[in-house]
Amino acid sequence: MNIDDVKKIAVIGAGNMGHQISLLCAIHGYTTACTDINEDILKKAEAFTDSYLPGRVQKGRLTEEQARAARERITFTASMEAAVKDADYVIEAVLEVLDLKRKIFSDLDKINLRGRTVRQVIEILEIKNLLLTGRLVARAALERNESRGQHFREDYPHKDPAWEKVIVQEYKQNEEKIYYANL
């Protein structure tokens, strides 16, 4: 599976991270289902979406058509099974509580996704990325004098272009090169 195969995304967890991830997926053209067991959190997530999109239009970041299309692509449901039923890609964004994560992955194992369990899809896409990311972080740590973390937030008000860098890892002729580059 590659990114071009992804048409529908399910986001498990509608808290601060989950509902914003869901919204960005919808803005960028993916049919998105956001799920949470807490109905109040789901209502807040949907209310945020309904206020955020018009705000983006007012600020000129989205056209009215883009905002309308994004809103049509995102749904909110308390049923995890309904959210992941036709998903091509599943994003887990729940609280960092190990027992909760274990329960979610156990529940996901029971749901069939076109002949594969959701967990298998997650493993195919995430384990490979986790291994590559871990290697990249380890190698980059050897070559830098400082560390910086990353946190999801689309509209942080004080962006400093000096921080907008990525770590690039290249392989050419069996030689690995890691360096910083501007976004």
Q: Where are the domains of the chain?
A: 3-122, 131-182
Tokens of 54: 């018009």
pLDDT at 115: 56
* Mean pLDDT, rounded, for 83-112: 82
Strand partners, 31: 8
pLDDT at 45: 97
Residue percentage of the chain with pLDDT more than 90: 39
Distance CA 62, CA 56 (A): 5
Instruction: Give CATH for domain 3-122.
Output: 3.40.50.720
* Mean pLDDT, rounded, for 148-160: 51
20 — pLDDT class (breaks 50, 70, 90): very high
pTM of the model: 0.65
